Structure 1
Amino acid sequence: MRIVIFLLAAGMAITSPSHAAEKTTAAMIRQAAQQFLDHYAADREETGQTVTYSLGPLDSRLNLAACPDGPSVSFSSDPTETTQPTLSVSCDGQRPWRLYLSTSLEIRGQGLVAARPLSRGERITGDMIATQPIVINSVRRGAITQRDALVGLEVRRSVNSGTIFTPDIVTQPEAVSRGDHVIIIARSGSISVQSRGKALSDGRVGEQIMVQNLRSAKTLRAQVTSPGHVEVPM
């Protein structure tokens, strides 16, 4: 596997054995990367997922400035969205440096899939969800893995049985429908005043809709905060 390496603010040198301890070698970098990925795999294991990974070879002659506290390793791309995440390995010592390593990594676990064909507009219930083993980070747009986060959402488009649930398949259901009577909350800091109103359009939580105050007959723009409730600034 090809390893992409970028070096910043550090000279690359081949040193004599007497100066080897003053340098960060390829072996040290590889060990730091493996320890980081082992910790990541252990964290994932606690959630019932299994991680496998591999690192490509590094030039054994690589010598970078010494890093007294050891190299710092992190993901520079989201490992849950790709099987080829990039690792950032760096040192913030007197002679700072950074390099990037590509890796091959798979996260295996139970994915949530449609237990039967679903039609657009259906509200998802527990019996509509099944599980099957998947490589989670190979699913385009990301797999939904939390059942509680899925129940109650609405299907955006028809899907077949066995389809993996991803964020683009589902959406929040409408919390307010046109013509519904709603509670209008006018808020300013800790002070709030409630009144009754009527929704003039459909809306989901977080969306803005037009509502009519039933007492004053004024039309207001309000944000949907929960089913049957909207909020306007005072």
Structure 2
Amino acid sequence: MNCKHRRLFQANNRRYQYFFGLSAQRIKTLPFLERFIPQALIVACICLSPQIANGASIVDQINNIIEQHAHQAASRAHPNVLAKNIQVSPAPLHPTLTAKTCQDLSFQQQGQRVVGRLTGKLSCNEPNWSAYVTYEVAVFDDIVVTSEAISRGATLQSSQLTTRRADVGLLKTGYFKNINDVVGFTARRTLKPGLVVTNYIAEPPYLVEKGDWVTIVSGTGAIKVTATGEALNSGRYGEQITIRNLSSKEKIKAWIIKKGTVSTRKSAI
């Protein structure tokens, strides 16, 4: 029955007109109902909708477990970063997921990365269901950057460096937090202002120069033996160089552990 015929039927039907008039008179006797019936119906729909109620609780539950896991993983990877500098941003959940409920929810990250755009698996035992979700993790810290152009081969000075806040999770080659840690480094190439200082663009100074006399430390624990040797090549901290023992004239390999001191044990680094 189309709309036109329906209206004609209603207008010519005496029983319909009787009940319609009766209901209209009833509402007029209660004027406040006429004003608030639409709003009351909307509120009732919201309160009685289990899907909306359960969706709000599961959203909080999912976001909480994602943030907790992400904070712990990022803190382990960046132990020197304050917890407040770790930001976790869960992606909006699919509507089918917000309609679910769970009494025992668990979470497992997919992959080894702890920063950037990540994926995790949600698992529920009661009722039994699972789903994949995405989220982003950013880790902010103060890092050392160049404040002016630096020529290749130049020694880095404190006046040429500054610090700025950045997402260190995006820095694949490492970074330095303190300016004093890189003062004295040598630029491997020409550096532009604002460049993040790493071991790839600046190398630490030599702790031992070729021809220097150095102290050779050998032995373990409380039993250590020292001798004097001559460095046959230059080197930096942690590097292995050749040393000539001045007493025995024997050539040995040793690792630089500090300025003017080498060790025959790599574990001393």
Q: TM-score under structure 2 normalisation?
A: 0.58
* TM-aligned CA deviation for residue 191 of structure 1: 0.9
* TM-aligned CA deviation for residue 51 of structure 1: 3.5
Instruction: Give 3-state SS (helix, strand or coil) of 1:174's partner.
Output: coil
For the structure 1 residues 142 and 90, does the alpha-carbon distance in structure 2 shift closer, same or farther, using more than 3 Å as the test? farther
Partner Cα separation in structure 2 for residue 56 and residue 169 of structure 1: 40
Partner Cα separation in structure 2 for residue 216 and residue 187 of structure 1: 17
Moved more, 198-207 or 120-129: 120-129
In the alignment, does 2:248 pair up with 1:210? no
Q: Which residue of 2 aligns with 1:5?
A: none
For the structure 1 residues 220 and 167, does the alpha-carbon distance in structure 2 shift closer, same or farther, using more than 3 Å as the test? closer
Q: Which residue of 1 aligns with 2:106?
A: 71
List alignment gaps of at least 5 residues for structure 1. Answer: 1-16
For the structure 1 residues 109 and 232, does the alpha-carbon distance in structure 2 shift closer, same or farther, using more than 3 Å as the test? closer
Greater relative contact order, per chain length (Cα 8 Å cut-off, separation 6+) = 1
Instruction: Give 3-state SS (helix, strand or coil) of 1:113's partner.
Output: strand
Q: Which residue of 2 aligns with 1:222?
A: 254
Q: Which residue of 1 aligns with 2:93?
A: 57
Q: TM-score under structure 1 normalisation?
A: 0.65
Richer in strand (by share): 1
* TM-aligned CA deviation for residue 26 of structure 1: 6.5
For the structure 1 residues 205 and 135, does the alpha-carbon distance in structure 2 shift closer, same or farther, using more than 3 Å as the test? closer
* TM-aligned CA deviation for residue 153 of structure 1: 3.5
* TM-aligned CA deviation for residue 105 of structure 1: 4.2
* TM-aligned CA deviation for residue 154 of structure 1: 3.3
* TM-aligned CA deviation for residue 178 of structure 1: 1.2
Richer in helix (by share): 2
Partner Cα separation in structure 2 for residue 114 and residue 155 of structure 1: 11
Provide, for residues 130-156 of structure 1, a one-character-per-residue CA deviation record: whole Å limited to 9, x for no partner.
234544444453543443443443332
Name the aligned partner's letter for residue 77 of structure 1.
R
How big is the alpha-carbon RMSD for the aligned residues of Structure 1 and Structure 2?
A: 4.2
In the alignment, does 2:188 pair up with 1:156? yes
Q: How does 1:64-143 map to 2 (within 5 A)?
A: 67=104, 70-72=105-107, 76-79=112-115, 83-84=116-117, 86-89=118-121, 101-107=133-139, 110-139=142-171, 141-143=173-175
- Name the % identity: 20
Does the aligned pair in 2 maintain the 1:175–1:228 contact within 8 Å?
A: yes
Q: Which residue of 1 aligns with 2:213?
A: 181
Aligned positions, number: 205
